[in-house]
Amino acid sequence: MESNKNNYVLLIHGGVGTIIKENMTATKEAAYLETLKMALLAGENVLKNAGKATNAVEAAIKVMEDSPLFNAGRGAVFTHEGKNEMDASVMDGNTLDAGAVAGVTQIKNPISVALQVMQHSNHIILIGEGAERFAKQQGCELANPSYFYDEDRFQQLKMAQLHNEVILDHSGESAYQEGNIENEGKKFGTVGAVALDTHRNLAAATSTGGMTNKQFGRVGDTPIIGAGTYAHNKTCAVSCTGHGEYFIKNVVAYDISALMEYKQTTIQEAAEYVIHEKLKQQKGEGGLIALDQKGSYTMAFNTKGMYRGVVSKNHSPKVDIYK
């Protein structure tokens, strides 16, 4: 992308997986594309008014958290116990400050609380009830657990329990067809955003409901700085989506930054290597969005699709789903 000092860039993702056009209804496809565009416009509205990258990624993610289409916020999947446990994180590439929440059940927009943790606490990760007490103290909007109930998500849980399966980060249609587990239908529905603001600062943020039928308070890569989210003005801003355990083991978000810093690889080279070689060799599925201070970006994934979009000062919003 072209770079000039007043340029801004925003990228978003809404999850990866076996997302095939033939399996998508026209109505649902239109709904996804429209929500992705709304998220881009919300974030862009912050950036074009000289707002901070951290606020832009929050604004974009809130739109996706408020939509039942994505596995975050209102669309979060169910745990084995029939709860919705959500994780989110944000990082400022200028200061390296970061904030995250994990295992929260009553926060309407987990990403907003993650930002409050970064800005108004001495910690980086808050979990469960403690995170919710902090959210209330900061005036963040709470929601009754019934707010997060979605019938399609609940049926995903019932099918997962029937087959004794943990189903990876869904977004969209059920992973099951005609009562049989259809692995080719799985999706990873984590949402994320990365931004470059007009002050030349980067930020990254990610939010998720985790895995269907997860147990024992399982936490994935989303709230772990360096695994699912990372930002550093010196290198890049990264938000990941996919099978979280692989992203934790490979510290994927930080790995992109490290390759750029220590080996002087481009952002595209770093992402291609990590997603298409390193993870694939381990059978790790997923993708990421990454953006550097010059406005160069990449949207890499090793699955059949990724909900994604980009907007900049010089280009109108562009959204896509399929490979």
113, containing H or E segment: helix 110-120
3-state helix/strand/coil string of 30-56 = HHHHHHHHHHHHHHHHHHCCCCCHHHH
Give 232-235 contacts, CB < 8 A, sequence gap 24+: 232/93, 232/96, 232/202, 232/257, 232/261, 233/93, 233/94, 233/200, 233/201, 233/202, 233/293, 234/261, 234/293, 235/260, 235/261, 235/292
150 token code pair: 């979605």
Alpha carbon distance 188, 67 (integer Å): 16
User: Is 53 in contact with 201 (CB distance < 8 Å)?
Assistant: yes
Active-site residue 35, yes or no? Answer: no
Q: Name the catalytic one among 18, 79, 190, 222.
A: 190
* Helix/strand/coil percentages in the chain, nearest 5: 35, 25, 35
Cβ partners under 8 Å of residue 96, min gap 6: 231, 232
- Which ranges of 234-315 would DSSP assign to H, the alpha helix? 244-249, 252-263, 267-273, 279-281
> Contact 179/158 with Cβ under 8 angstroms?
no
> Catalytic site residues?
190
